[in-house]
């Protein structure tokens, strides 16, 4: 982060990020569950398969990924992060992360979850509040000091 920003911003901790993730998960479920029900009916929830068919894959895997990545690329945040006043920034420069960093960060969520969510829980113990997905992508999640929900904004010309 830039020196002037370090006095204005703080890393967002585990519980605020958990709340943000909960908000995002609920919003995704509001879209995903009715679509799955419309296509597969109530029998969908009786299946033990990871993926039932192409529509299941598109709705459960591709649609959420496209939603999250589009918001990250446009706003550097999801609705949950915006609710807690947080944005994702490049860990080295404090600027807006590249699209490549966002893609790595998204895929890094899966790596972080495989060992019993250890990579996600890491946020609670890391000095910079980085999960493994953040470390992989070279990002941090920040907000204005004091936990305010006033959004942090980038200069329109800023791009890492």
Higher pLDDT, 78 or 8: 78
Higher pLDDT, 153 or 1: 153
What's the longest Cα–Cα distance across the chain?
Answer: 56
Q: Tell me, what's the pLDDT at 49?
A: 83
Residue 104 predicted with pLDDT over 90: yes
Q: What is the DSSP string of 69-135?
A: HHHHHHHSS-HHHHHTTEEEEETTTSSPPPHHHHHHHHHHHHHHHTTTTHHHHGGGT-TT---HHHH
For residue range 16-43, list pLDDT tens digits in order.
Answer: 999 999 999 999 999 999 999 999 998 8
pLDDT, average across residues 91-101: 96
Q: Tell me, what's the pLDDT at 79?
A: 97
For residue range 37-48, list pLDDT tens digits in order.
Answer: 999 998 888 888
Percent of the chain with pLDDT over 70: 87
Higher pLDDT, 1 or 77: 77
Whole-angstrom distance, CA of residue 142 vs CA of residue 132: 16
pLDDT, average across residues 96-125: 97
Q: What is the mean pLDDT of the chain?
A: 90
Single pTM value for the model: 0.85
């Amino acid at each position: 982060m830039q020196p002037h920003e370090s006095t204005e911003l703080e890393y967002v901790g585990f519980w605020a990020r958990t709340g943000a993730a909960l908000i995002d998960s609920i919003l995704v479920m509001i879209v995903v569950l009715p679509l799955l029900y419309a296509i597969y009916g109530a029998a969908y929830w009786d299946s033990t398969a990871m993926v039932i068919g192409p529509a299941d894959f598109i709705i459960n895997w591709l649609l959420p990924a496209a939603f999250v990545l589009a918001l990250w690329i446009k706003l550097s945040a999801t609705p949950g992060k915006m609710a807690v006043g947080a944005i994702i920034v490049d860990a080295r420069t404090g600027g807006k992360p590249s699209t490549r960093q966002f893609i790595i960060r998204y895929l890094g969520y899966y790596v972080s979850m495989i060992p019993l969510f250890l990579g996600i829980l890491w946020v609670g113990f890391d000095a910079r509040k980085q999960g493994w997905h953040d470390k992989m992508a070279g990002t941090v999640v920040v907000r204005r000091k004091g936990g305010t929900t006033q959004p942090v904004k980038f200069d329109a010309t800023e791009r890492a």
